[in-house]
Chains A and B, each alone.
Chain A
Amino acid sequence: MSTLRQTVSRWLAPLRRQLGRTPVLAFMLAFLLAVLLEQQVGENFAKSLEFRKIPKFFGLVDIFEPFSDLDFSGILAPFFPSPSMDVETPIQDSGAAIGELVSTFWNALFYQGARNPGFFSVLVRVLVYDIVIFIVPILILALLLRGPTLWVLQRLPRWLALALHLGALYVVLMLWGADGGTRELILIYMGINIMLSASLNLVNGYMGEFSVGHAGFMAVGAYVSSVLTMVFFTNSSVFGPALLSPDLGLPFGFIIALLAGGVAAALAGLLVAFPSFRTRGDYLAIVTLAINFIVTGVINNMEVVGGPRGLNGVPLWTNLTWIFLFTVLSIAAIYNLVNSTLGKGIIAIREDEIASSLMGVNTRKLKLVAFLVSSFIAGVAGGLFAHQLAYVNPGNFGILKSTEALVMVYLGGMGSISGSIIAAVIFTILIEALRPLAVLKWVVIPLILILLMLFRPQGLFGFRELKLNLGLRPKPTQGQPTETEASDAAAAD
């Protein structure tokens, strides 16, 4: 067993070494070409693998589809029969339901009729599709492109090289992701989740507080920006004709509304920041929880915005471009903050608040900064979320949403921006992929969390950043360039 693994890894070692020296940009370009390949032959290839359509999101969203018929309700229902139900002996009926569940599960794994393939069949075909269309072409192309991309990158100033990465990422996302369907939807939620987890990580990971009410700030941003865009830039049934012209809505009205939502959320953040001067730890966690409830409670009681019925008719303005823009800006802001002097002070507060104040750290100011920035970004994310859903209600922003943000932070690891990004990506895909499992989803996800806490309590990247080979020129201040392949720590995106 171990000798097999050794042999395999010996075989793969040269490839891994080569790939390690390949800059991220080469992979992006290779991915771009693979996307073009998919556009050319993907449809036919998918058909030849007996898929009806091109697999959604690399097939990740398809693989659990076979389980969508599982019905758990039959197990407990006989014990709590409704008046119309005819139950002889609950145990027997429940037993029958379990038997049926097992057989459905068995079929879902292997075969359930010509039109509904089993899990293993889908899995194998998805793997074949991904390997042929994406993995192999990307590996080959990335290796071919390594030389030219490094040659170009080494001749560009750092800022331009970084901008080139962002540009390439944007093009890749637009070309592959802007399908107006599943892909775009998943990518939009991904961006929103990245903003949520990275901003929460600022408070929970870097500053060491335990905020459990992040969705409250999201709600403030969502409602404030929605009301603004609806009142000023949309003819809606709720607020009547637009006060300003609908033509002004995009892009300026939307930007202003999103930022205003962020500012409003930051003001709500003050409600946590001020108590944080005097209390911390568990007590502050209770305060954040309370803020979450207060915000949703207030919205529930505001008839102008529909109360518990929610607000309908929010313009559908969020798209991949907006998401890309605000996600990149948020990550850049957080990255620069935590790597600045202020950021060092924020980390010092986490380590020992008294010691840090004895070294000249203005703890109140930094807590204020951290809570304001964190809640501002959550507010903007809320605004983007609302303009994606078109319909918001207070239930969207309850404690469950806050918990999702927490899960992403601890999955990715405290004090790690790249961890938060990767966790948000994984979590978003997981949520979508497990959707067919319905109720079971909320068994599987917590189970993953428990296993994570048991075997990797620091999360994927606790207090570390993922190091990417961006192929940038070394920083001028660092003196002499070491080698051509200067690997650089940077937040992945």
Chain B
Amino acid sequence: MLLNVQDLHVSYGAIRAVHGVSFEVDEGEIVTLIGANGAGKSTILNTIAGLLSPNSGRITYQGQDIGGLDAHKVVQRGLALVPEGRRIFGNLTVSENLRLAGYQLQADERARRMKRVFELFPRLGERRDQLGDTLSGGEQQMLAVGRALVTGGHLMLLDEPSMGLAPILVQHIFSILKEINAQGTTILLVEQNAHMALKIAQRAYVLETGHIVLSGPAAQLASNPDVQKAYLGA
């Protein structure tokens, strides 16, 4: 088991956002966490990544407790978050964004990973000297994924990568995610766009107001009438 979350509770001051969530991600999997707006998806990912600290519960990664570690320490273990809204450095170029993503790496290792990103996303390579702000939404998402690949690359957490993108771009991003996964990166994908997420994931969890209400193989959830009604618009 690569990532194991046990009975996680997180709150913002008095506002309790996540109460008692447990799930796991195995090596090599694509796992998705689907839920409506405000269900607590981002809160869970941000807590795993070290941006928030849990009130209680355990988060173990590769068998080691990472709950409450600072974000820059979590990163050192090979776990990278593509945050909601992408958070590209808009005043910096594509290359500079990627170089910063390898902040903790040796120069040669960083160069190797950047080269891989440019191979996966040729469009980023063509725009390497373009400022982040001037990229299209799809290119920004590619850059966000690329940065996470440079930073971590073992387990990638993605927070709604399809947000605000045209369907064709979503498909493109998701096909790249599958490719990255095939090359050895485990993926935990959080989505409101359950349709696409359930297509590429092996397993899925359904989150409602801070609780997990359903879980199982993605294909099985996709055919579950409740899920279809609530998340697939059927």
Contact = CB atoms under 8 A, between A and B. Distances in A.
Contact of B72 (A344, A347, A351, A362): A362
A362 B50 CA distance: 12
Contacts of B51: 354, 357-358
Interface string B61-97: 0000000001110011000110100011111100000
Contacts of B190: none
Nearest to B90: A351
B175 to A, nearest CB: 24
Interface stretch (B26-34, B100-108, B200-208): B100-108
Contacts of B91: 351, 463
Nearest to A364: B70
B99 interface: yes
Contact of A355 (B70, B89, B99, B104): B89
Contacts of A463: 91
A236 interface: no
Contacts of A357: 50-51, 70-72
Given A341-B103, A358-B51, A359-B151, A352 B87 contact: yes
Contacts of B70: 357, 362, 364
Interface in A346-381: 347-348, 351-352, 354-364
Interface string A153-182: 000000000000000000000000000000
A440 B193 CA distance: 64
A364 B50 CA distance: 14
B147 interface: yes
Interface in A302-353: 341, 344-345, 347-348, 351-352
Interface residues of B, number: 25
B173 interface: no
Most B CB contacts (10 A, CB to CB) among A352, A356, A360 go to A360
A359 B151 CA distance: 6
A360 B83 contact: no
Interface string A232-273: 000000000000000000000000000000000000000000
Nearest to A361: B103
A269 B100 CA distance: 27
Contact of B83 (A341, A347, A348, A354): A354
Interface residues of A, number: 19
Contacts of A358: 49, 51, 71, 75, 80-81, 83, 87, 151
Majority secondary structure, B binding face: loop
B70 to A, nearest CB: 7
A351 B99 CA distance: 14
A361 B74 CA distance: 11
Contacts of A348: 89, 100, 103
Contacts of B101: 359
A360 B76 contact: yes
Nearest to B150: A359
A208 to B, nearest CB: 10
Interface string A451-463: 0000000000001
Nearest to A350: B91
Given A344-B99, A344-B100, A355-B83, A360 B75 contact: yes
Nearest to A345: B103
A205 B192 CA distance: 39
A359 B49 contact: no
Given A357-B70, A361-B72, A344 B89 contact: no
Interface string B177-192: 0000000000000000
Contacts of A344: 99-100, 103
B103 A360 contact: yes
Contacts of A356: 100, 103
A352 B102 CA distance: 16
Most B CB contacts (10 A, CB to CB) among A354, A356, A359, A364 go to A359
Most B CB contacts (10 A, CB to CB) among A352, A363, A364 go to A352
A360 B92 contact: no
B227 to A, nearest CB: 31
Contacts of A361: 72, 100, 103
Contacts of A359: 75, 100-104, 147, 151
Given A354-B51, A355-B83, A360 B151 contact: yes
A246 to B, nearest CB: 50
A252 B89 CA distance: 46
B156 to A, nearest CB: 12
A305 B49 CA distance: 51
Contacts of B80: 358
A85 to B, nearest CB: 59
Contacts of A363: 72
A351 B151 contact: no
Contacts of B50: 357
21 contacts: A344-B100, A344-B103, A347-B92, A348-B89, A352-B87, A354-B51, A354-B87, A357-B70, A357-B72, A358-B75, A358-B80, A359-B100, A359-B103, A359-B147, A360-B72, A360-B75, A360-B76, A360-B103, A361-B72, A362-B72, A363-B72
Interface of A: 341, 344-345, 347-348, 351-352, 354-364, 463
Interface of B: 49-51, 70-72, 75-76, 80-81, 83, 87-92, 99-104, 147, 151
Q: Which 5 A-B pairs have the closest CB atoms?
A: A355-B87, A360-B104, A357-B71, A360-B75, A351-B89
Given A355-B89, A358-B49, 8 more contacts: A351-B90, A355-B83, A357-B50, A357-B70, A357-B72, A358-B75, A359-B102, A360-B72
